Structure 1
Amino acid sequence: MIRITKIFTFETAHVLYGYDGKCKNLHGHSYKLYVSLKGKPIEDLHHVKNGMVIDFGDLKKIVKDEIQDPWDHGVLVNALSPHLELGENLEKEGHKVIFCNYQPTCENMLYDIAEKIQKHLPEGVELAYLKLHETENSYGEWFAEDQL
């Protein structure tokens, strides 16, 4: 079994409804996302991906389509909270709003990212690990073995 990792970056804002600190205010981060996949490299001399668990380009496309393009320079808003109205008002003013059904913390974003990536992985390739840096020294981690 081999693990491969690719690192991605995106700029996203969020606002935390009901939070008792500074993050209750709309603010943004330069996120850094580490995506680790595991699998056995293809062993077929005639396969164009011979020797690879997955082509890094294929992983890049999944993350670009599911995370980077939709979230970059947007604002994540909890649509199940009164912030729904805030998001709708921002959208009316021409801002890019991503309505989610969770409090948009780093922790919950990891669950969402995991789900979005997993549905696109080829057979035999598994999501093993995610790390999402919200700041240079604050991050959350998702491990496949911790999921039930």
Structure 2
Amino acid sequence: MVYLTRVEHFNAAHKLYNPNWDEAKNEAVFGKCANENWHGHNYELYVTVKGQPDEDTGFVFDVKRLSTIIQERVIEKLDHRNLNMDVDFMAGKLCSTENLAIGIWKELVPHLAANIQLHAIKLYETPKIYVEYFGE
């Protein structure tokens, strides 16, 4: 099995806020991330697929095609957007990095070729904080 990773970047704003809680509890749990005026991140997205190299090309998957899929299905929906308000696949969800990684996974899977599998989404919120999702 060979693993191929494409790295993309996007900027987005969000607010961590549970509408079922009062403002005091939201602030206690989420701190500055519950700011009513939102806050933003420069996200780094690592999309890893796996499969066997094609005999004719030597590729697990065409990297240009993978980049196009990520751009069309994810980056165009997320870049310079408000995750809480503008992103269809985040509607009704708390906009944590964990939930965002799961949402990205679900956006990509239907658009990948049958001969490869999505292995992992690694999403950096900051240089010191990231999540990994393997589709479980």
TM range (shorter): 0.7 to 0.9
- Once the 2 structures are TM-superposed, how far is the Cα of residue 143 of structure 1 from its aligned partner? 2.0
Aligned equivalent of 2:127: 136
Structure 2 counterpart of 1:71, from 78, 87, 94: 78
SS in 2 for 1:103: coil
SS in 2 for 1:119: helix
Does structure 1 residue 111 correspond to structure 2 residue 121?
A: no
TM-score between the two structures when normalised by the length of structure 1: 0.78
Unaligned residue ranges in structure 2 (runs of 5+): 19-25
Q: Distance in 1 between matches of 2:134 and 2:102?
A: 10
Q: Identity of aligned pairs, percent?
A: 36
Aligned equivalent of 1:24: 34
Aligned equivalent of 1:122: 113
Give CA deviations for 1:73-119 in whole Å, capped at 9, x if unaligned: 01011xxxxxxxxx4xxxxxxxxx22523101000001100011111
Unaligned residue ranges in structure 1 (runs of 5+): 45-49, 78-86, 88-96
Aligned Cα root-mean-square deviation (Å): 1.2
Q: Distance in 2 between matches of 1:113 and 1:3?
A: 18
Structure 1's consecutive aligned runs of 4 or more residues displaced over 2 angstroms after TM superposition are none
Structure (1 or 2) with the greater helix fraction: 2
Aligned length: 122
